[in-house]
């Protein structure tokens, strides 16, 4: 968390991808420092019906167990 705080408080403008539920406090904190923030509630998005798959009994289930997230820092 220390590195994150250091980066957010730096003079360099960065883009932040927030994968949790929308937080007005987080948005304000980032934008007041000149950063851009993109937000997507990944857990909520995973309930999208088009992402559902059917198991062997033809019951729909979520794909959340098959999600892979790759994060890189440049």
In the chain, what is the straight-line distance between the N-terminal and C-terminal CA atoms, in Å? 18
pLDDT tens string 10-47: 889 999 998 888 889 989 999 999 999 998 888 888 78
Give per-residue pLDDT as tens, 39-61.
888 888 878 877 777 777 766 55
Q: Is the pTM of this model over 0.75?
A: no
Hey, where are the domains in the chain? 2-47+55-64
d(CA 2, CA 4): 5
What would the two tokens of residue 14 be?
């960065």
């Amino acid at each position: 968390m220390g590195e994150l705080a250091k980066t957010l408080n730096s003079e360099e403008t960065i883009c932040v991808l927030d994968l949790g539920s929308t937080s007005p406090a987080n948005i304000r904190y980032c934008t007041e420092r000149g950063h851009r923030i993109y937000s997507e509630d990944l857990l909520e998005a995973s309930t999208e019906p088009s992402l559902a798959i059917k198991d062997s009994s033809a019951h729909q289930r979520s794909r959340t167990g098959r999600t892979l997230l790759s994060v890189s820092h440049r």
